[in-house]
Amino acid sequence: MDGTLVYVPISPQQFLLNIYQELGLHFGLEQICVAYEIEEKRWNEKFPDYTLRTREAFIEFNRKLLEVLGAKGDLQGLSEKVQEHWENLSEEADEKLYPEVKSVLKVLRERGVTLGILSNRLLAFSLKSLEKHAIRDYFQCVICPQIARAPKGKRSPEMWQFALKEVGAKPNEVIHIDDDYETGIIGAKNAGIRPLLLDRKGTYTSSVDCTVIHNLTDILELLGI
């Protein structure tokens, strides 16, 4: 999803600033950045298992963050309201679809290519984005760590085994496109799937042991379409 199909033009910290202002909480952006870093570290240590990163766990994240910021009042209630905003991030943060996505998906579907999404996002977040951008129907399946029972997300073999079963394919019949080498690319390689590293910003200046593309349109040329 993120970095491959869609992107959010503002940072999570800026999004939180907007949420807090709407809820009548007044914190500075720098203050939020510091608190976010502290809480994100705690969160990653407490929830290394992606299957435990439930909605309730995210509400806890919101509450702990408010505690670090020194917020007062009904923190549980505020945390639940903050979570509602996070769940509507695609709309409220004006999430964008990369310009070539729809045309590439259309061509791939016309050529009979089966498409699926593998993301560490919560399923509800992915579905909300797909519906917003009217591209849900292009995909046969949308997979997240929770439904695949993959504790390390895209680093878990369970994620890939579940995906292969969903689309009814063998590893050598599949290509995986990802913008993150450490998760998606390594995960795909370990599963015997050919990975394509999508490097939209020219981040990977050093050589990597897989094919690099800079735009989804490049897929069509690689497939001879």
For the domain spanning 98-222, the CATH number is 3.40.50.1000
Tokens of 70: 């020194």
Give the pairing of strands 96-97 and 6-7: antiparallel
Distance CA 225, CA 221 (A): 6
Architecture per CATH, 6-92: Orthogonal Bundle (1.10)
Distance CA 117, CA 140 (A): 8
pTM: 0.90
Residue in the structure block whose two tokens are 């299957």: 51
Residue in the structure block whose two tokens are 């910290």: 13
pLDDT score, position 205: 73
Query: With contact defined as beta carbons under 8 Å apart, do 28 and 13 qualify?
Result: no
Q: What is the pLDDT along the chain (225 residues), one digit of tens a residue?
A: 999 999 999 999 999 999 999 999 999 999 999 999 999 999 999 999 999 999 999 999 999 999 999 999 999 999 999 999 999 999 999 999 999 999 999 999 999 999 999 999 999 999 999 999 999 999 999 999 999 999 999 999 999 999 999 999 999 999 999 999 999 999 999 999 999 999 999 988 777 899 999 999 999 999 888
Summarised one tens digit per residue, pLDDT across range 87-103 is 999 999 999 999 999 99
Give CA 155 to chain center in angstroms. 14
Tokens of 174: 């599949």
Tokens of 217: 């349109």
Question: Would you kindly state where each structural domain of the chain is located, as residue ranges?
Answer: 6-92, 98-222
Largest CA distance in the chain: 60
SS3 201: coil
Query: With contact defined as beta carbons under 8 Å apart, do 151 and 187 qualify?
Result: no
Distance CA 170, CA 67 (A): 48
pLDDT score, position 208: 87
Contacts of 167 (CB under 8 A, 6+ apart): 114, 116, 140, 141, 174
